[in-house]
Amino acid sequence: MLYYLFEYLEKEFQFPGATLFGFISFRAAMAIILSLLISTIYGKRIINYLRKKQVGETIRDLGLEGQSEKAGTPTMGGLIIIIATLIPVLLFAKLDNIYVILLIITTVWMGIIGFIDDYIKKFKKDKEGLKGRFKVLGQVGLGIIVGTTLYLHPGVTIKEELPKDQQELVAGTNQLKQFKPEEKSMKTTIPFVKANEFDYAKLISWISPNATDYAWLIFIPIVIFIITAVSNGANLTDGIDGLAAGSSAIIVLTLGIFAWVSGNIIFSDYLNIMYIPRVEEITIYIAAFVGALIGFLWYNTYPAQVFMGDTGSLTIGGIIAVIAIAVRKEWLIPLLCGIFLAENLSVVLQVSYFKYTRKKFGEGKRIFKMSPLHHHFQKLGYHESKIVTRFWIIGILLAIVSIVTLKIR
């Protein structure tokens, strides 16, 4: 909103300083500062309100050290993250940008699903919360919205470099005309590959050249799978104080770098990566989101004063997935979101192996002492603050390797 206000003031009255709002860097800085202030200052008020309403976590006895002390800690703290993200975005972002619109929809959509889950757990006294099939249905619904929009919306385009033999000097300048006009494309990027672009349409074009018109049959299910997998991964990671919020902040900050360079024609040309017009605007959203996550950590680090609950974890995962798809870096998710992947796999392997051994030998056996993975290390005797710190370090290493993929192919 402020962007449009200062744009008007600059156009009509040449208001001093109004041009600052035209710069992504300035608006991103303002967004992260405001989100930090909201999450730290007003976050305490939200925690007190949740405590007053007795929205406390019911802890299942898993035999973990320090577990009983967490009983009654306010949950639904994801509301802090959602509020501290949306307010700066509404103030500083261009609200007609399709990528920003999709991220706002994702935040509200997944926030509602997570809130319903937490509400059922607390107020309906049902420890299972929202049935799994309804969660998945909500994730699939969001995937359909995001996938269809990215496939059909005219503002979702890329701009490719012309072949060297087709480049020519722009009239009146000494600069080469290097880029084709904007075009709709199902292309994405694959890390560590020299020609690092891949077109989803190729997965169906072998049937017939005209079959590329039906590339959405491939693309939309992929989007649904990514959103479902990442949101569930974030949900499983939210098990000890600060782990999900800190790991997510590292991931989102890395995606912010990708959004910044992919949406800048100079940087994308220099790095020889795909140029995605208008995607740089989600840097504002990412800045607000990172600020909200870091501000939330003020109260969520050990010993936690609030838990994010499914209101936060499902929302975080959905947002990360949509950002990665928007900047066409979804194939980096297994690397960048390696913590989420490890947590997911630990549960899948544990359950699968237990069922297999019980069926074959009559007694179920386990690979890990407990899943998800962070509980395995708790069972080994590691303090949860040490586990969180080491997982953060691994997350930073994965983020660095992900950024390096911009040049290493």
Q: Residue 82 and residue 287: Cα distance in Å, rounded?
A: 13
Looking at residues 261-265, what average pLDDT do you find?
A: 91
Is pLDDT at 400 greater than 90 in this prediction? yes
What confidence tens digit (pLDDT) does each residue in 237-252 have?
Answer: 988 999 999 999 999 9
pLDDT band at 63 (very low <50, low <70, confident <90, very high): low
β-pair type (176-177, 187-189): unpaired
Looking at residues 50-63, what average pLDDT do you find?
A: 68
Work out the end-to-end distance of the chain between its first and last CA atoms, rounded to an integer number of angstroms.
41
What confidence tens digit (pLDDT) does each residue in 376-390 have?
Answer: 999 998 999 999 999
Residue 312: predicted pLDDT? 94
- For residue 41, is it left (φ>0), alpha (ψ between -120 and 50) or beta? alpha
Is the pTM higher than 0.85? yes
Cis peptide before 163 (omega within 30 of 0): no
Q: Residue 129 and residue 58: Cα distance in Å, rounded?
A: 12
Residue of 112, 51, 123 lying closest to 307 (CA atoms):
51
β-pair type (197-199, 187-189): antiparallel
Residue 271: predicted pLDDT? 85
pLDDT band at 75 (very low <50, low <70, confident <90, very high): confident
Q: Taking all residues of the chain, what is their mean pLDDT, rounded to a whole number?
A: 88
Residue 269: predicted pLDDT? 82
Give the least confident one: 140-144, 253-257, 266-270, 305-309: 266-270
What confidence tens digit (pLDDT) does each residue in 154-191 have?
Answer: 999 998 877 666 665 554 444 545 777 888 999 999 88
Residue 191: predicted pLDDT? 87
- The most confident of the ranges 20-24, 126-130, 331-335 is 331-335
Residue 52: predicted pLDDT? 84
What confidence tens digit (pLDDT) does each residue in 268-302 have?
Answer: 888 888 899 999 999 999 999 999 999 999 999 98
| Cβ 318 vs Cβ 131: under 8 Å | no
Residue 65: predicted pLDDT? 61
What confidence tens digit (pLDDT) does each residue in 15-32 have?
Answer: 887 788 888 999 999 999
Residue 265: predicted pLDDT? 87
Structure tokens at 324: 């990665």
